Amino acid sequence: MTLNLRRPILIGGIGLSAALWLLESFQHSASEMGENLLIGVLAASAGYWWWHRQSPKRDLALPQPLASREAAEKAIATAQKAIDLLAAESPNSADPGSLKAQLEKLTAELDRQDLQITIAGGKAVGKTALIQVLNANWTPQNSQKVSFQETAPLFANNHADPKIAGDLVLFVTAGDITDSEFQTLSQLASSGQRVLLVWNKTDQYLPAQQSQVLQQLLQRMQGILKAEDIIAIASAPTAIKVRQHQADGTVQERLENPTFQIQSLSARLTQILAAESQQLVWASAVRSAANVKVEAKTLLDGVRRDRSMPIIEQYQYIAAAAVFANPVAALDLLATTAISTQLVIDLGAIYQQKFSLDQAKTVAATLASQMLKLGLVELSTQTITGLLKSNAVTYIAGGAVQGISAAYFTRIAGLSLIEYFQSQDLENAASNSLNIDRLTKTLQAVFQQNQQVSFLQAFIDRVASRLAPQTPQPEAVKSAAN
């Protein structure tokens, strides 16, 4: 690992006044450590909460109210851009090729005529029975080709739920819906999936109960599904015992198979086929293209992270060595801030975010001042001091706490930048402007994740072994200390 230290910023550093300001705030906050510690913990938890709330966000372009061919083409083009970036940044991977093939298939099927209907639902709700009765009694009436597909039973505890996708989903239940059924249905609907709620096995209820259950279903799904998309059926009603009193006084019993009740469903399906068929196919293309894009983006994030981590490692050791070698506190902070400015530029380049020197300084200064403001500096310095005291590493000189802290803050800054860049809009990376609020919240969340004592202990051991004079110094630390 060799480092090029002849970077202008690392030598120039930030202005002395800025360094003194940082020093001042540091000393000021150190005197209020108790209070700030509490604020820091609170702020960090708030950040963590925010991050958690934000992270499952997936940018599916919702096909609402009705998807168009243009929307599908646009979604495919957007996914294509993500794949192109991936191909450019990991030229030896097979992933871009296979993702591209998926997109080509989507494009070829944009005007697909046959409709794919997925039957989903819990175990034994009657999915197979419904497909059979539809295939025998409804499918033959249609001029359009329709194919049914049954998912593996949902909510089976022994394995994860299968992914539900299709032009149209019939979500089957056998009565009022459970909480997990409600969750799945709401998620499907909110992701733009066209879905009908089909209550099967109505024959298990008396007519009076039936209307009650239907009322409950309508009420629960209000605002999520339209009333006409909630339908009661009986695909395979249970045979009923019929008793007949004979003229001679004896009673004869026989089993009678009631006929299936799916008229309301067939009628609704026929309507949907006539009115929405083409849009349903386009909407599927929009969703599939969005999924391909997410896949490409995830791979791209991985490639970029792999390139970023060694850079963060390098800078964290430079920061440690620089601060360790120089006992002046103001210079310590100056050095780390200069290093993080260069870190901003280097990581920005990986994420295609070009920063001018001034912009990079602003980002670095924001990170540094937020770390102080949020009490993260005090909190970690205290933890690191405590851990070092209980550590067997006795050969470490006085600057160890500062050195290790500098490395730690550099790492937190770098990881925050990765998270922040990843959450940026992929399409307009170059024109993204700095969102300080979001950067601060990302910083809080990342700090929270890397604050566990076990992580800090391992981190201290790693940095300490680099700083230790006994062991031969690696290239990075040597050049930084000179």
Binding site for ligand GTP (CB under 6 A): 123-129, 153, 200-201, 203-204, 234-238
Beta carbon of residue 210, minimum distance to Mg ion (angstroms, whole number): 24
Nearer to Mg ion, 127 or 441 (CB): 127
What does 270 bind: Mg ion, ligand GTP, none (CB cut-off 5 to 8 Å by kind)? none
**In this complex, which beta carbon is closest to ligand GTP, that of residue 172 or of residue 412?**
172
User: Pick from 141, 125, 122, 148: which is nearest to 235 by CA?
Assistant: 125
> Nearer Cβ to ligand GTP, position 125 or 165?
125
Using CA atoms, how far apart are residues 235 and 263, in angstroms rounded to an integer? 10
Contact 185, 225 (CB under 8 A): yes
82 three-state secondary structure? helix
Quick one: 232 or 345, whose CB is closer to ligand GTP?
Answer: 232
Rounded to a whole number of angstroms, the minimum distance from the CB of residue 119 to Mg ion is: 8
Locus of tokens 């299709």? 166
Write down the least CB distance from residue 124 to ligand GTP, Å.
Answer: 4
Which residues have C-beta within 8 Å of that of residue 97, sequence separation ≥ 6? none
Q: What does the alpha-carbon distance between residue 51 and residue 440 come to, in Å, rounded to a whole number?
A: 11
C-beta separation of 402 from 70 below 8 A: no
d(CA 414, CA 402): 18
Q: Which does 287 bind (CB under 5 to 8 A by kind): ligand GTP, Mg ion, none?
A: none
- Which residues, 6+ apart, have CB-to-CB distance to 318 below 8 Å? 3, 5, 10, 339, 410, 476, 477, 480
- Strand 230-232, strand 195-199: pairing: parallel
Residue whose CB is less far from Mg ion, 100 or 127 = 127
In the bound complex, what is the minimum distance in angstroms from residue 145's beta carbon to Mg ion? 22
List the interface residues with Mg ion, window 10-29 (CB under 5 A).
Answer: none
Tell whether residue 132 is a contact of Mg ion (CB under 5 A): no
CB of 180 to Mg ion, least distance (A): 18
Residue (128 or 457) nearer to ligand GTP, CB: 128
* Closest CB 218 distance from ligand GTP, rounded Å: 20
**Cα(413)–Cα(363) distance, rounded to whole angstroms?**
10
Smallest gap from Cβ 291 to ligand GTP, in A, equals 25
Q: Which is nearer to ligand GTP, 80 or 235 (CB)?
A: 235
> Residue 128 or residue 422: which is nearer to ligand GTP going by CB?
128
**Nearest partner of 59 among 437, 422, 443, 433, judged by Cα:** 422
Work out what residue 129 binds among Mg ion, ligand GTP, none; the CB cut-off runs from 5 to 8 Å by kind: ligand GTP
Q: Nearer to Mg ion by C-beta: 150 or 229?
A: 150
| 8 A C-beta contact, residue 229 and residue 193 | no
- Interface with Mg ion, residue 422, by CB under 5 A: no
Partner whose binding site includes residue 124, from Mg ion, ligand GTP, none (CB under 5 to 8 Å by kind): ligand GTP
Binding mask 102-131 for Mg ion (x = CB under 5 A): -------------------------xx---
Q: Which does 153 bind (CB under 5 to 8 A by kind): ligand GTP, Mg ion, none?
A: ligand GTP
Q: Which two tokens stand for residue 448?
A: 């929270």
Question: What's the number of CA atoms in the CB half-sphere (13 Å) around residue 299?
Answer: 23
Distance CA 383, CA 401 (A): 10
Residue 235 interacting entry, from ligand GTP, Mg ion, none, C-beta within 5 to 8 Å by type: ligand GTP
The C-alpha atoms of residue 118 and residue 203 are separated, in whole angstroms, by: 24
β partners of residue 195: 169
Between 233 and 377, CB nearer to ligand GTP: 233
Name which of Mg ion, ligand GTP, none residue 466 binds, using a CB cut-off of 5 to 8 Å depending on partner kind.
none
> Which of residues 156 and 274 has its CB atom nearest to Mg ion in the complex?
156
Please state the closest distance from residue 451 (CB atom) to ligand GTP, in A: 45
- Residue nearest to Mg ion according to CB distances in the complex: 128
Give the nearest residue (CB) to ligand GTP.
Answer: 126
Residues 6+ apart with CB under 8 A from 276: 66, 194
User: Among ligand GTP, Mg ion, none, what does residue 78 contact (CB within 5–8 Å per kind)?
Assistant: none
Please report how close the Cβ of residue 40 comes to Mg ion at its closest, in angstroms: 54
With CB cut-offs between 5 and 8 Å by kind, which of ligand GTP, Mg ion, none does residue 236 bind? Answer: ligand GTP
**DSSP letter string, 360-426:** HHHHHHHHHHHHHHTTHHHHHHHHHHHHHHTSS-----TTHHHHHHHHHHHHHHHHHHHHHHHTS-S
281-310 as b/e: b if 16+ CB within 10 A: bbbbbbbbbbbbbebbbebbbebbbebbee
Output the smallest distance, CB 211 to ligand GTP, in A. Answer: 17
- State in angstroms the smallest separation of the CB of 200 from Mg ion: 12
Alpha carbons 167 and 276: distance in angstroms, whole number: 10
Contact partner at residue 186 from Mg ion, ligand GTP, none, CB < 5 to 8 Å by partner kind: none
Would you tell me which residues interact with Mg ion (CB under 5 A)?
127-128
